[in-house]
């Protein structure tokens, strides 16, 4: 979202005259005024600034269209920020009377639920597939496994980003052929 700066006097007057759009938006979207007004108003104020400063918008769209879109976008941003994993961490009370199984670490960390046998099998399979790759391809795969982006891999290996992508595509094709046999 663009940064909102203090409104000019004309922008303040314009915002005051059309503030009914905010209430209409909240009503038509079945949103509680007390809870969502503070979220939606920032999109509305940004729409006032954009509409006042950009002549192309004035000539092409009604203010209500711009305001509606910006309010919807600020609401979307609010939902997106609140649904992030860091804001939805599981909470466990240390004083709960629940069973030990409910509060075990395995329930919280889904990666830990994979059995040792499955992880060992996957590791052996990955090592077997690595034997079909060249040294350079192995290096690229290891960097990707460590979380490097194509751009970072290209920089480290002296390749272009497109070359890294095409290497992965060729490796996938070759490994699918090997797997089919």
130 and 69 share a domain?
no
121 and 74 share a domain?
no
Contact of 43 with 68, CB cutoff 8 Å: no
The pLDDT value recorded for residue 81 is: 87
Is 166 inside any structural domain? Answer: yes
Dihedral of the alpha carbons of 77, 81, 83, 85, in degrees to the nearest 10 = 150
Range of the domain at 129: 115-180
Is 36 inside any structural domain? Answer: yes
75 and 125 share a domain?
no
The pLDDT value recorded for residue 94 is: 65
Q: Shortest CA distance to 15 belongs to which of 73, 77, 74, 66?
A: 66
The pLDDT value recorded for residue 87 is: 72
The pLDDT value recorded for residue 112 is: 55
125 and 75 share a domain?
no
122 and 80 share a domain?
no
Element (H, E) at 16: helix 9-17
Dmax over Cα atoms in the chain, in whole Å?
A: 74
The pLDDT value recorded for residue 124 is: 83
The pLDDT value recorded for residue 138 is: 87
How many domains does one find in the chain? 2
The pLDDT value recorded for residue 111 is: 58
The pLDDT value recorded for residue 38 is: 95
Q: How many residues make up the chain in this entry? A: 181
As separate numbers, helices (DSSP H) first and strands (DSSP E) second, the chain gives: 10, 0
Q: What is the C-alpha to C-alpha distance for residues 89 and 108, in angstroms, rounded to an integer?
A: 9
Per-block mean pLDDT, blocks of 10 residues, the chain (181 long): 83 94 95 95 95 92 95 93 75 61 55 66 80 85 87 91 90 83 71
Q: What is the C-alpha to C-alpha distance for residues 139 and 168, in angstroms, rounded to an integer?
A: 12
Q: pTM of this prediction?
A: 0.51
Q: Two tokens at 127? A: 């090592």
The pLDDT value recorded for residue 146 is: 84
Is 79 inside any structural domain? Answer: yes
Contact of 4 with 49, CB cutoff 8 Å: yes
Cβ neighbors of 49 (< 8 A, separation 6 or more) are 4, 5, 7, 11
């Amino acid at each position: 979202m663009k940064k909102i700066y203090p409104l000019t006097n004309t922008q303040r007057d314009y915002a005051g005259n059309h503030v009914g759009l905010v209430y209409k938006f909240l009503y038509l979207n079945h949103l509680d005024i007390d809870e969502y007004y503070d979220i939606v108003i920032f999109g509305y104020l940004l729409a006032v600034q954009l509409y006042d400063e950009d002549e192309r918008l004035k000539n092409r769209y009604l203010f209500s269209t711009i305001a509606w879109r910006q309010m919807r976008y600020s609401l979307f941003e609010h939902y997106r920020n609140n649904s992030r994993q860091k804001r939805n961490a599981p909470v466990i009370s240390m004083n709960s009377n629940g069973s030990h199984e409910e509060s075990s670490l395995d329930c919280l960390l889904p990666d830990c639920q994979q059995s040792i046998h499955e992880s060992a099998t996957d590791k052996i399979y990955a090592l077997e597939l690595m034997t079909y790759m060249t040294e350079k391809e192995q290096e690229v795969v290891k960097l990707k496994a460590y979380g490097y982006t194509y751009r970072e891999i290209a920089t480290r290996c002296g390749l272009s980003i497109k070359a890294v992508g095409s290497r992965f595509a060729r490796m996938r094709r070759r490994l699918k052929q090997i797997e089919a046999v």
